[in-house]
Structure 1
């Protein structure tokens, strides 16, 4: 499994100038290659000899690979737009989907493959251009004890150097061995939602609620209000900063919830975590004026992904099951009907919290969909 670590970089003024020049040249080269490919000139057989750029050959090779990847995705989205327009035309609809714009990279960064950088003694070594020649520079970084332990015998992947919040950082990909999955143990069902971010039910009867849905919805509304106010004042940069801050907060919340879920699973000797297959949750969930904003901005997929990779690191497998009627079906008599807000009461006398009912039905479900969530 591949994971990544973000490390702060502390270059000298001279090194900072060299790195900034390298990032600028890297992005300009990728954009130039992409523009060339989209204009009709194939870059399928392009090599470093065909590209004129003030970059080390290792980074130039990476530029060509990145450009090919971007062009491939662009053509894929163009084909989707064409097929959708054909489908709309057959149905007699006057609506048409616009073809995607040419992708242009704006954020200055550069990618360096694992053969061209080293991490050792609180320094990262990688090549840059100095006076027209490729030379390695050694830049000081601060590694935590945990990062030193991870990097001591890790197999590295690609490293990205980028500016985040006005700070130069290196995002280093590394591989970790996945532990063997448990063959014996309990089963845990997880119900994801808005009012209650997550509820777990274990086959041995333990129950736990995670997160604070009311607080999350309040933060969403608060930042939506701030964005609206700033947009009215035409403060576009401030709108972007507010949006980035909200995303960082919500991502951190997802990390904490997924960590707590996996920690609980380990404590109760769980071998399998079952999640709902939530591909169409936004189209199947009941809408309301207060609920719409949270529904369309909350990332159920991201939380499921966090649970999945953390569970794998703990030796717990993850399965996805059909989400149909999980919050409506009585586990005792099997009848289906809606809950009254959060309270579910069946004619047979069974009553329970609606989200807990969902977690219970997910735990007991045999409607297996797959081992991976779809985006």
Structure 2
């Protein structure tokens, strides 16, 4: 499993100038290679000799690899669209799906292969171009003791140098061995939503609600109001700043919720966490004027990913189940019907909170879902 650590960089003016130039040259080179490839010229056999870039050869090689990856993904998307349009044409439909646009890197960044950077004595060394020649520069950093322990023992991957706000940081990927999983323990089902961000039900009968959906929706509405106000005042830079602030706040909330969920799972000897497969959740969820905006900007996927990687680090297996009828099916008699707002009452007499019902049915579900298929377990 791959994780990453962010490290602050303390640069001199000369070093910052070199790094900013390298970052801009890097994305320009990648964009140029992508443009060449999408216009019909193959770059599959390109080497540094075929690329005119003011970069060290190590970074130019990385540009070629990144461009190939982007082009492969773009071609795959084009094939998918072509297949869908062909199917629509066979059905004599007047609808056609637009071809995907060619990807373009906009944010200055730079990727450095693990063979071309070194972490040593609170410094990171990597190559840049100085007066037309490749030279290594040593950037002073602030590395915690925990990060030093990680970098000393883990296999390092690619380093990305990127802007974080107005500062330039280094993000270093490293490999972590996944622990062996066992099923000898409790099972936790988690239902994700808007009014209640997450509800967990454990097979030992434990129940817990996480987060404050009302507070989250208030913050979303508040920032939406600020964007509208700043838009009328024609202040795009201020809009960008509050967008970044809103995303940081919501990401922090998701981190805290996922941390709390995994902490609860560990304390109850949970060995398997079950989540709903969240594909098409926006199209399958009932909408209203009040929650339509929240539904279409809510990051269910991000919270699920945070839960998954934190659970794996704790040695807990994560499985995705079929979400059909999890908030409508009675676990006692099996009848399916809608809840009345948050209250679910069945004709057999069973009654429960709707979100808790979802978590309970997810916990008990045996319909495990892959990318496209459902497989049943015994």
Q: Report the secondary structure of 2:68's partner residue.
A: helix
Change (3 A) 1:373 1:113: farther
2:326 is matched with 326
- Aligned-pair CA distance for 1:323: 1.2
1:23–1:108 contact (8 Å) kept in structure 2: yes
Aligned counterparts of 1:64 and 1:216: Cα–Cα separation in 2: 42
Aligned counterparts of 1:27 and 1:350: Cα–Cα separation in 2: 59
- Aligned-pair CA distance for 1:109: 1.1
1:22–1:110 contact (8 Å) kept in structure 2: yes
2:304 is matched with 304
- Aligned-pair CA distance for 1:216: 0.8
Deviations 1:133-169 (A, max 9, x none): 1111110000122212221212100000112211010
Change (3 A) 1:161 1:254: same
- Aligned-pair CA distance for 1:371: 9.2
**2:252 is equivalent to residue 259 of structure 1:** no
**2:318 is equivalent to residue 281 of structure 1:** no
Residue correspondence of structure 1 range 3-82 to structure 2 within 5 A: 3-82=3-82
Aligned counterparts of 1:371 and 1:54: Cα–Cα separation in 2: 42
Change (3 A) 1:259 1:11: same
**2:214 is equivalent to residue 225 of structure 1:** no
1:301–1:373 contact (8 Å) kept in structure 2: no
Residue correspondence of structure 1 range 352-371 to structure 2 within 5 A: 352-370=352-370
Gaps of 5+ in 2: none
1:268 is matched with 268
Q: Which runs of 4+ in 1 moved over 6 A?
A: 371-374
Q: Report the secondary structure of 1:194's partner residue.
A: coil
Gaps of 5+ in 1: none
1:168 is matched with 168
1:319–1:370 contact (8 Å) kept in structure 2: no
Change (3 A) 1:337 1:189: same
Aligned counterparts of 2:165 and 2:373: Cα–Cα separation in 1: 31
**2:114 is equivalent to residue 117 of structure 1:** no
- Aligned-pair CA distance for 1:268: 0.3
Deviations 1:88-126 (A, max 9, x none): 334444343332232221211110000000112111010
**2:349 is equivalent to residue 349 of structure 1:** yes
Greater Cα shift, 102-111 or 6-15: 102-111
After TM superposition, the score normalised by the length of structure 1 is 0.95
RMSD: 1.8
